[in-house]
Structure 1
Amino acid sequence: MRLSSMADYAVVTMTAAARHCGHARISAQQLADETGLPAPTVQKLVSKLSAARLLRSVRGAHGGLTLARPAAAISLADIIEAVEGPIAMAACSERLRTDTGRPDCSLESACSVRPHWPLVDAALRGALAGVSLSQLAAPTPTMIEMQA
């Protein structure tokens, strides 16, 4: 499994926002500058992350972006799902059903694995939910050594 670019960028953006947690609010442009992501991409991500109630936007002279809840209460799964929707590994997972309500898979009628995908999806989501934004935003030993 591989994250989409947008999910990856969402993690990078939220990690940068978390580093400012408790300080002054940060703008989308500042997040773009800090992460090296294009400003339009950050704006799109801010919109999705705000809709998912992971970021809070405040207007006005002292406005900007802040985390909607503590970094320790935001998981990697929360961030990925804000951009990608529910985590699912296979085409026959509930999330990937077509508009007709049927999976987009020609093997459905004979597939013995399909009933097990929810277990796999739950395990993957559980693993991602076990990684908090505060862990991702914490300096690594390498970062600390570079600052010294």
Structure 2
Amino acid sequence: MRLSNLADYAVVIMAAAARAGDGARLSANMVADETGIPLPTTQKLLQRLAQAGLFLSARGGGGGFILTRTPADISLADIVEAVEGPIAMTACVEEGRHDCALEGACQVRPHWGAVNGAIRASLSGVSLATLAGAA
């Protein structure tokens, strides 16, 4: 399993926001300069992270992006899911998916839920504070 570049960049952006301090108001330009992530990608990810509830965003002179929770209360799973959607190792663990040709006779399918849960739990156990070096 490999994270997409966007998910990786989202983690970098969130870590930069955590290092900026509690209540810091960040602009896309500031984040792009700090991280080296191109501005259009930074803008896209900040919007996605805000839509997922990880940032509050406001336009205008007093605008910017502010973390909605403390870095200790945001997990790696929260960030990955904000960009990638629900963590699912295989299609058969996704709710409502029934597109596998082997589904009826698969001997492994009953176990994928446990595997998926273990991976999600591992990602949930890593806080943004840890990723930002603030733990």
Same fold (TM over 0.5): yes
Distance in 2 (alpha carbons) for counterparts of 1:134 and 1:81: 17
Instruction: Determine what percentage of the aligned residue pairs are the same residue.
Output: 60
Residue 65 of structure 2 aligns to a residue whose secondary structure is strand
Structure 1 spans left out of the alignment, 5+ residues: 140-148
Distance in 2 (alpha carbons) for counterparts of 1:127 and 1:63: 35
Quick check: 34-43 or 14-23, which moved more?
14-23
Larger Cα-atom Rg: 1
1:21-54: CA deviation from partner (whole Å, max 9, x where unpaired): 2264110111111111111111111111001100
Greater relative contact order, per chain length (Cα 8 Å cut-off, separation 6+): 2
The answer on whether the counterparts of 1:57 and 1:66 sit within 8 Å (CA) in structure 2 is: yes
The answer on whether the counterparts of 2:23 and 2:67 sit within 8 Å (CA) in structure 1 is: no
Q: Which runs of 4+ in 1 moved over 4 A?
A: none
Structure 2 spans left out of the alignment, 5+ residues: none
Residue 7 of structure 1 aligns to a residue whose secondary structure is helix
User: Which residue does the alignment assign to 2:104?
Assistant: 109
Counterpart of 1:16 in structure 2: which amino acid?
A
Q: Offset at 1:95?
A: 5.2
Distance in 2 (alpha carbons) for counterparts of 1:77 and 1:55: 15
Provide TM-score, normalisation by structure 1. 0.84
Alpha carbons of structure 1 residues 95 and 48: separation in structure 2 relative to 1, 3 Å: farther
Alpha carbons of structure 1 residues 84 and 96: separation in structure 2 relative to 1, 3 Å: farther
Structure 1 residues 32-43: aligned runs within 5 Å? 32-43=32-43
Q: How many residues align?
A: 135
The reply to whether residue 4 of structure 1 matches residue 37 of structure 2 is no
Provide TM-score, normalisation by structure 2. 0.92
Residue 109 of structure 1 aligns to a residue whose secondary structure is coil
